[in-house]
Structure 1
């Protein structure tokens, strides 16, 4: 019976199946890629690092740290720093990361260069390896020279890749590799310069976990760090776990929309089968038999849909390495495992049956008297059974989301959010029906009354269609609003009031001549910011070493070893807002110095107004007290500080300066950079327009990825929408035929259907857009912490577009009725 009935309804059942296929494809493809990513990270962890373990220090290692480093016999070493370089061939200048290497690094993986021999010969020849993309940009070839500080080196080859780097990190500061012995001769490592010392070890048989447990605490006390390839693997795994959670959520939403499509379509389908079920029961069929006929149909749909979706998912996961290549530090090798494939088929079966159970239960409780009943008392409503099924659905949703997210709180929040969205859409639909019924315009003409009656009378489709339309619109609009929030975080003003060029590490002896270079180029200095480096020595009466040895500490570890770059000034700036305490602009007494700290530093350091902190300022201990706490907008492209001193305290401390200016065009920017690099090689220059271009490129890639992932959900939502509206035609065919038999014209029938579907489309999409507006506002406030300025596109494009789509599908439903005689239509439907 299941097979015979399915053959008669094959077109409708195919629409059911389409709802589930893309959701399964999304889940399978993302699960397969996540497994491949984890396997690749584990296999390639040594290649990513280039060594078995590394000891690094943000400053020259202390005597004790150097003794530990030497006792382990490093096989290679490096010092790296960011600096400006110049190409004498054409006068080009660029901010790069200089890596001074000594030894046969890397031990795993390789330096990929053009020519390939350059990787082995650059040390002996005393040449430089320059990022290949950078060489293309400046039309530089092997054999040309590069000026790094006070020395000029021949370029031995183009550097294609080096362990640990990726396209994103290289785009901001491309790598330039030089022999370690030349670093001192560059004279770039001066006071205040940011640098990192790394020592590489090859120890394939070492117990790295035991080494980490023994050495790490000792290095922590000396402001150094040990990093093993196994810890790097774990850290990368955690980082890409978050990516996986996002992708899994997108896939789950697509699957959930497919399940809603199944539920809404089966609900309409079963409504029409109740008479047939009643006839079967009159002929002796049991409840179990009539229920199983349709359960077998839905199970078959789930298995076939799961199988097709799984095959599509296998093909789709081949695209992920290409999509995410710029965000991964290695090439991902793809292989197929059986677990996600089996899961895809079983998931299709389970989710189809689970979401079809509620409408299927109606076949269980239908009475044989339904054959004779015409508009009589409604059949029995199985409230207890419905409640049990609802609990099973909610529990299954939670279990599945927990399995995807691996966090019970996130899973609970997601399920609650889904339930709230469903509840709001359903409540709007019910409220709409009650309002139309209560305020029914009896004075309106026949077609208007008939279309409004369709919204609340028996066999209405208001609830099903508003939920389906609202969900699809909600998802699409939320994605659009969220993209706007992300892009708004990168806005850089293009007026002369905003700096777009920054000169860093200007030494005190260079300050006057640097400022003269600016004015000689007709450029106004917008900011002259002094920087003083210091470290924390004592927090609330406890020394940093004592805090480091305390395993129960609540203070975040980063600030205990951090070298703070602080400044002093009289006023707050535009990116700051005072939240606690009083701003002190000058300090001349011998009392502890009142400082202002950022809110994130106060939180991580467990600091409050009045707490004492002692700083080590190049060997001099300075006692301070927290006088105020500021909220800092770190997203703004200007210099922000965790710690700000009042004037009258640090003026005589060893310091360097940062100068900012506005450069109107690229030519003047290049001229200024060339002059400054020629005079002061240690001065680094950041052109914010170039940085903005890089950020914009990154965000375009991120936006493209988000849109690609959302493609599954959006297409599934549209298919659900089409399926739900298309299947609703079977509820209207007999009514339209009856109207034609009674003398209604085609124009009247078209108008009745048009008004009904237009109303449902407008209401569903309007509620979806408004819900997206609220959810995006909450995201902006709670997650992105950004002001939210909603775009008009969802209101001007999505709202009318989806409404017209619903109208078009609805009108297509009755074309057969209009083109054929009533008797032909009735025969065809039977």
Structure 2
């Protein structure tokens, strides 16, 4: 019976499943690609690191670290890396780069990809440099030209296309330049305050257990402010980073799938409503409740399975495009393969979601009476509230279970389900309120076509609420994306005030600070800050030495505090990004007593200290006892120099230190000229142009936005299919209404205008509500999460909303074409039949 009945309604049921197909295609493609990504990271982990394991430190290794390196058979290769200014003598241009001096045969896995290829082997012997390809293109430099790093000029041996460990945001801000290890000292770039990383690379024996090695050696290195990373642990960390982004995309795809399910529920509701008389007839001739219910349940489950199969096939095709979509984020090429688990989950999702969301309208077949054959009124049956409650509970539990499976956290799954329920409830509630408002405050003064188009929104089988849900959620996703991107950019944007620096001079030595300040002023600019910086580590927290805390597995302090090299300054006032939380500042040191200091509240919480607690710092070999006298909140999001620890004046002036100078260049031309002049005078000074960093951040956010927009498009596309399904499902109802309107004297133009206005209302309602909800949500995010002022983007209002309205209007009119052109006799014949 299910098969026979479905043959007559197959095209309609297939349309119901189209939205399911889209959602499943999105979920399967993302899950498959995420699995491929994880497999590729595991396979290529050695290539990404260039070795089996590495020992790294941000200070020259002490005797204990060197002894550990020797006990492991000695390093197979080593490197030293730091940021510095590079000058191209050919043009005089200067740029911040990431210098990396390499010794030995590193990388031992993968390769230095260069052009010409031989440069990767010859640059060390020739004492030359390999320069990032993008950097060479940007500054018009070619192989054979030269590059100046500090006091040394290197011939450029080749273009560096790729190398292990040279990808990511850091490489965008400071492009890599590779030179021989022995040439680093001659540059004069390693000075007090230089941010240097020392890496020692190892090739493991075939039988060596790297996990056991990590567990044994890493704690020993931690005590010496060094670290051991294996290619396994690095791959796991990288995998987690991409996994989080994959989960986010999965949730967007799942929302698209849920939208499709809402459309299925609405379409099945109308479909079953038309079948109720047939069900009543079946019951009159002896069919049981269970039999009539199963006939249509089998139909829906079969179409869900078919939708799952088609969705899986679509997902496999879509999966092929993800390497192109995520090209800017991946440091390696991903090999695409079929993931059986993702295919099975797609099939199961197709059947389960179709059945779950169709159960509510399917309950009508259970409770319809055989007497319905004789009745002509609508809803001549009563559904069980208990059965409805169980269905709703099943849907919510399934959504929670699936989101928990994706996120791996009960709390996040609850937040996601709550968020979905709130957005759907708000959209549905607003749609319902709007319908009631139209009935109560109907605009009787409007013209006939305008009034009739409003009436169409609450005709029988109108599906207005479902369409507003589908359109609204898609618009909500895209608008929230734009608003959130504005919030993130606002956090890192440069303020337009005169005292906000955009050029920062790092590593200025004490004997250079006066000359550097004079050079800035000679260029007609002001020195906004001249900040002394001293490096130190925590030696003791309260009454416990840090070495003891590192070895104590039960210690509750955040471990980064124990290993971190703090860069602190001294001053007697707070700046605009700081606010007092507890205590008073400034404080003066009384005689030779304990030194009062100020700590940022987040670092104090991680170190588990508060006002009155004592700390001992190791200031480059000298122990200094201090007491926390002041806690402050620091706005770390501001693009300015902030400090976690402040000392009062009169304490650290004689300590080894370097300085940071800041200024504000009015434009890029002035900035470039000043940088060239400063680097020529002070080759060891590094200059950070905050505007370039902002451009990099904005570019990254735009790439992420493009990927999320691509996924949000599935939600919009789902809404379109629900819209098509709605028009198709209520087609006969619309034809009947148009025939009656023609009988009353309405012209074709009037009917066309009524239909056009109806879809404009739907697009305006769905899109408008979605944008308003995303605006409110983004305002709450900006106020309570990011704590920044929020100026919303105009894109959702000027581009997204008109586009959604035009799309809804176009789809509605195209699908209503046959309705508008149907002759009156068609309806009369059907009624006669």
Same fold by TM-score, threshold 0.5 exceeded? yes
2-side partners of 1:291 and 1:258: how far apart? Answer: 23
2-side partners of 1:93 and 1:752: how far apart? Answer: 65
User: How far off is 1:470 after superposition?
Assistant: 3.3
Could you list the per-position Cα deviations for residues 187-212 of structure 1 after superposition, in whole angstroms to 9, with x for gaps in the alignment? 21111111111111111331112211
Could you list the per-position Cα deviations for residues 465-508 of structure 1 after superposition, in whole angstroms to 9, with x for gaps in the alignment? 44334333333332332232233334224564332211111100
2:265 maps to 1:263: yes
What runs of 5+ residues in structure 2 fail to find an aligned partner?
Answer: none
1-side partners of 2:513 and 2:99: how far apart? Answer: 24
2:357 maps to 1:337: no
2-side partners of 1:176 and 1:765: how far apart? Answer: 49
2-side partners of 1:598 and 1:310: how far apart? Answer: 52
User: How far off is 1:443 after superposition?
Assistant: 9.3
1:109 matched to which residue of 2? 110
Could you list the per-position Cα deviations for residues 555-578 of structure 1 after superposition, in whole angstroms to 9, with x for gaps in the alignment? 111111111111122332222233
Please give the secondary structure, in 2, of the residue aligned with 1:332: coil
- Indicate conservation of the 8 Å contact 1:726/1:809, yes or no: no
- Indicate conservation of the 8 Å contact 1:465/1:721, yes or no: yes
1:474 to 473, 476, 488: 476
- Indicate conservation of the 8 Å contact 1:53/1:226, yes or no: yes
- Indicate conservation of the 8 Å contact 2:723/2:812, yes or no: no
1:786 to 785, 788, 800: 788
Please give the secondary structure, in 2, of the residue aligned with 1:489: helix
1:655 to 624, 638, 657: 657
2-side partners of 1:788 and 1:616: how far apart? Answer: 42
2:192 maps to 1:185: no
Q: What is the count of residue pairs matched by the alignment?
A: 830
Could you list the per-position Cα deviations for residues 282-335 of structure 1 after superposition, in whole angstroms to 9, with x for gaps in the alignment? 344333333333323323322232222222211211221222222222211112
Please give the secondary structure, in 1, of the residue aligned with 2:386: helix
2:45 matched to which residue of 1? 45
Answer with 753-762 or 495-504: which moved more: 753-762
2:89 matched to which residue of 1? 88
1-side partners of 2:702 and 2:277: how far apart? Answer: 55
2-side partners of 1:441 and 1:696: how far apart? Answer: 47
1-side partners of 2:830 and 2:593: how far apart? Answer: 95
User: How far off is 1:696 after superposition?
Assistant: 2.3
1:222 matched to which residue of 2? 224
- Indicate conservation of the 8 Å contact 2:150/2:189, yes or no: yes
1-side partners of 2:411 and 2:453: how far apart? Answer: 45
2:139 maps to 1:171: no
Q: Counterparts in 2 of 1:402-417, with a 5 A limit?
A: 402-417=404-419
Please give the secondary structure, in 2, of the residue aligned with 1:51: coil
Q: Would the alpha carbon gap of residues 555 and 813 (structure 1) be closer, same or farther in structure 2, given more than 3 Å must change? A: same
- Indicate conservation of the 8 Å contact 1:816/1:825, yes or no: no
Answer with 49-58 or 771-780: which moved more: 771-780
Q: Would the alpha carbon gap of residues 567 and 343 (structure 1) be closer, same or farther in structure 2, given more than 3 Å must change? A: same
Q: Counterparts in 2 of 1:287-302, with a 5 A limit?
A: 287-302=289-304
1-side partners of 2:136 and 2:440: how far apart? Answer: 75
2:553 to 548, 551, 554: 551
Answer with 521-530 or 479-488: which moved more: 479-488
2-side partners of 1:460 and 1:326: how far apart? Answer: 45
Q: Would the alpha carbon gap of residues 235 and 299 (structure 1) be closer, same or farther in structure 2, given more than 3 Å must change? A: same
Could you list the per-position Cα deviations for residues 770-826 of structure 1 after superposition, in whole angstroms to 9, with x for gaps in the alignment? 322232233334544433333454445555654565566566666545544433234
TM-score, scaled relative to structure 2:
0.93
2-side partners of 1:68 and 1:440: how far apart? Answer: 84
- Indicate conservation of the 8 Å contact 1:527/1:661, yes or no: yes
Q: Counterparts in 2 of 1:768-779, with a 5 A limit?
A: 768-779=770-781
User: How far off is 1:64 after superposition?
Assistant: 1.6
Could you list the per-position Cα deviations for residues 26-77 of structure 1 after superposition, in whole angstroms to 9, with x for gaps in the alignment? 1111111111111111111111111111111111112222221222211111
Report the RMSD for the aligned CA atoms in angstroms.
Answer: 2.8
- Indicate conservation of the 8 Å contact 1:529/1:567, yes or no: yes
2:356 maps to 1:360: no
1-side partners of 2:652 and 2:677: how far apart? Answer: 30
1-side partners of 2:750 and 2:676: how far apart? Answer: 77
2:725 to 708, 723, 726: 723
2:60 maps to 1:57: no
1:68 matched to which residue of 2? 68
- Indicate conservation of the 8 Å contact 1:502/1:687, yes or no: yes
Q: Would the alpha carbon gap of residues 815 and 543 (structure 1) be closer, same or farther in structure 2, given more than 3 Å must change? A: same
- Indicate conservation of the 8 Å contact 1:299/1:353, yes or no: yes
1:707 matched to which residue of 2? 709
2:372 matched to which residue of 1? 370
1-side partners of 2:708 and 2:432: how far apart? Answer: 34
2:148 maps to 1:142: no
TM-score, scaled relative to structure 1:
0.93
User: How far off is 1:246 after superposition?
Assistant: 1.0
1:827 matched to which residue of 2? 829
User: How far off is 1:718 after superposition?
Assistant: 2.9
2-side partners of 1:253 and 1:78: how far apart? Answer: 47
1-side partners of 2:819 and 2:252: how far apart? Answer: 40
1:387 matched to which residue of 2? 389
Q: Would the alpha carbon gap of residues 670 and 476 (structure 1) be closer, same or farther in structure 2, given more than 3 Å must change? A: closer
Answer with 806-815 or 688-697: which moved more: 806-815
Answer with 155-164 or 26-35: which moved more: 155-164
1-side partners of 2:669 and 2:469: how far apart? Answer: 57
2:28 matched to which residue of 1? 28
2-side partners of 1:802 and 1:678: how far apart? Answer: 55
Q: Counterparts in 2 of 1:648-687, with a 5 A limit?
A: 648-687=650-689
2:128 maps to 1:127: yes
Q: Would the alpha carbon gap of residues 735 and 134 (structure 1) be closer, same or farther in structure 2, given more than 3 Å must change? A: closer
2-side partners of 1:234 and 1:668: how far apart? Answer: 45
Q: Would the alpha carbon gap of residues 650 and 331 (structure 1) be closer, same or farther in structure 2, given more than 3 Å must change? A: same
Q: Would the alpha carbon gap of residues 321 and 579 (structure 1) be closer, same or farther in structure 2, given more than 3 Å must change? A: same
2:401 matched to which residue of 1? 399
- Indicate conservation of the 8 Å contact 1:588/1:648, yes or no: no
User: How far off is 1:738 after superposition?
Assistant: 4.4
User: How far off is 1:458 after superposition?
Assistant: 5.8
Answer with 84-93 or 489-498: which moved more: 489-498
2:596 matched to which residue of 1? 594
1-side partners of 2:378 and 2:132: how far apart? Answer: 81
Q: Would the alpha carbon gap of residues 683 and 49 (structure 1) be closer, same or farther in structure 2, given more than 3 Å must change? A: same
What runs of 5+ residues in structure 1 fail to find an aligned partner?
Answer: none
- Indicate conservation of the 8 Å contact 2:47/2:110, yes or no: yes
Q: Would the alpha carbon gap of residues 300 and 680 (structure 1) be closer, same or farther in structure 2, given more than 3 Å must change? A: same
2:203 matched to which residue of 1? 202
- Indicate conservation of the 8 Å contact 2:60/2:198, yes or no: yes
Please give the secondary structure, in 2, of the residue aligned with 1:327: coil
Could you list the per-position Cα deviations for residues 722-764 of structure 1 after superposition, in whole angstroms to 9, with x for gaps in the alignment? 4335534444443444455566666776676667655555444
Answer with 633-642 or 782-791: which moved more: 782-791
Q: Would the alpha carbon gap of residues 744 and 160 (structure 1) be closer, same or farther in structure 2, given more than 3 Å must change? A: closer
Please give the secondary structure, in 2, of the residue aligned with 1:560: helix
1-side partners of 2:679 and 2:446: how far apart? Answer: 81
Please give the secondary structure, in 2, of the residue aligned with 1:486: helix
User: How far off is 1:439 after superposition?
Assistant: 5.8
User: How far off is 1:628 after superposition?
Assistant: 2.6
2-side partners of 1:825 and 1:817: how far apart? Answer: 11
2:353 maps to 1:351: yes
Please give the secondary structure, in 2, of the residue aligned with 1:326: coil
1:609 matched to which residue of 2? 611
